[in-house]
Amino acid sequence: MRVTIFGSGYVGLVTGACLADAGNHVVCVDVDAGKIERLRRGEIPIHEPGLEAVIRHNAQAGRIEFTTDAARGVEHGLFQLIAVGTPPDEDGAADLRYVLAAARTVASHMRRHCVVVTKSTVPVGTADKVRREIDSTLQARGAAVEFDIVSNPEFLKEGAALQDFMKPDRVVVGTDNPRATELMRALYEPFTRNHDRLIVMDIRSAELTKYAANAMLATKISFMNELANLAERLGADIEKVRVGIGSDPRIGYSFIYPGTGYGGSCFPKDVRALIRSAHEVDHEPQILAAVEAVNARQKEVLVEKMRQHFGDRLQGRTIALWGLAFKPNTDDMREAPSRTIIDRLLQDGARVCAYDPVAAAEASRIYAGRAGFALARNAYEAVAGADALAIVTEWQEFRSPDFERLKELLKTPLIFDGRNLYDPAMVGRFGLTYHAIGRGRLAGPRS
């Protein structure tokens, strides 16, 4: 298979790498010449476990190439995958300018049948706009070229994207053409050989499926955070509640972990875009609005706990922060809870000394020149002399720390755990005061 991918960001690179690894010849096209040059040198602009090795291997084998030459890309591929960004507008709607620009580019150069596939997360009706864009561009050229439109949303988890692509739960294909269905089936056959996971539907349903999936997961997170805040006031332990409800197979354990709220490039953007889509058809999505409101409030919870503990006197205090990325195994800090927490602490006059195993470079870029913010080289350096430790991302290396060493290094033996990593009673035995999310009464040192 000959595949062209427009967009060399997260989705484009993972998709290209995995398709190339299955033996396809992939050309990745991007307008950013600097990015293309770095990719040609083997420099991967995102952190995703295993991705660099897969790209390097397939580049050396000649199965994946990177170029700014759109005409060459269109000439190359039977499949033209659009995987460009859809950043939110001020009103929350997805900005489709890059998707439609890619469609025009394909139409400007196509000379034979191709399958135009939207991988970008887009609102319902985008495929119709892509089709019209291609039709009008072909008409302006005076060209009559046959093409198919397919919606093929991605379901990749940052930190596990290669596994998700290579062994998918499902491959959603939205199309109105049986020929396109069979071509997509052939493209994904190496990844669905053990069990046919291809789910074929109409294009609009495929577009909504992506938003619905992310909105459902975001809803589970906000619901558990709402319950956690209630459990705390009722003197219950949300972690015991989580186990109790998760054992019900109708609920399950996935995405019912309370914490400091969701972030990243998908959930916040997609929930807002779905709300905007609902408003455009005169529907008020009350649950989605509540999901977003609960999440915004949850990002403030850890700082509120600090304010309550210190009597609103954070001025001049130093808070150690463990974790900056919105989740483990990525350097992505887009809409990460850590950013809200850092901003509030700095506004209150506190200093922040942060450590993250991967996201330090991204944090340096975001907070360059920001007074009161510093990065540590390791977790214990961040804690030294701090008035409290706040845990924001559940990196594996934070799960079993040396509590005796923490007590020695901290100016005040105090932990605010935004991910409920530890057993409150155990932390208390080490002489540390422990504030978590929804764990009932305060856990402090035992006498």
Per the structure block, which two tokens stand in for 353? Answer: 């000394």
Is the separation of the CB atoms in 69 and 40 below 8 Å? no
Handedness of CA 236, 398, 249, 197 (dihedral sign): positive
- Residues in Cβ contact with 4 at an 8 Å cutoff, skipping those fewer than 6 apart: 26, 27, 28, 29, 73, 74, 76, 77, 79, 80, 81
Decide the pairing of beta strands 351-355 and 318-322.
Answer: parallel
What positions carry a catalytic annotation?
266
**Residue 87: what pLDDT?**
87
Per the structure block, which two tokens stand in for 284? Answer: 């008020």
**Residue 441: what pLDDT?**
59
Write out the chain's pLDDT in tens, 447 residues.
Answer: 999 999 999 999 999 999 999 999 999 999 999 999 999 999 999 999 999 999 999 999 999 999 999 999 999 999 999 999 998 887 788 899 999 999 999 999 999 999 999 999 999 999 999 999 999 999 999 999 999 999 999 999 999 999 999 999 999 999 999 999 999 999 999 999 877 899 999 999 999 999 999 999 999 999 999 999 999 999 999 999 999 999 999 999 999 999 999 999 899 999 999 999 999 999 999 999 999 999 999 999 999 999 999 998 999 999 999 999 999 999 999 999 999 999 999 999 999 999 999 999 999 999 999 999 999 999 999 999 999 999 999 999 999 999 999 999 999 999 999 999 999 999 999 999 999 999 975 555 543
DSSP 54-85: HHHHHHHTTSEEEES-HHHHHHH-SEEEE---
Is the separation of the CB atoms in 421 and 440 below 8 Å? no
User: What 3-state DSSP class applies to 216?
Assistant: helix
**Residue 445: what pLDDT?**
57
Q: Please, how many CA atoms are within 13 Å of residue 304, restricted to the half-sphere of its CB?
A: 9
- Nearest CA-CA partner of 267 in 223, 229, 210: 210
Q: How far is CA 205 from CA 124, 128, 133, 271, in A?
A: 8, 13, 21, 17
Residue 300 burial (10 A CB sphere; 0-12, 13-18, 19+): middle
- Please state at what angle helix 203-234 crosses helix 126-141, rounded to 10 degrees: 150
Instruction: Specify the residue for token string 């198919």.
Output: 148
Is the separation of the CB atoms in 106 and 134 below 8 Å? yes
**Residue 396: what pLDDT?**
97
**Residue 228: what pLDDT?**
97
Phi, psi at 28, each rounded to 5° = -100, 125
**Residue 446: what pLDDT?**
47
**Residue 82: what pLDDT?**
98
Cα 310 from Cα 293, distance rounded (Å)? 26
- Please state at what angle helix 337-347 crosses helix 301-309, rounded to 10 degrees: 30
Phi, psi at 88, each rounded to 5° = -75, 140
Q: Where are the beta strands (DSSP E) in 162-296?
A: 171-174, 198-201
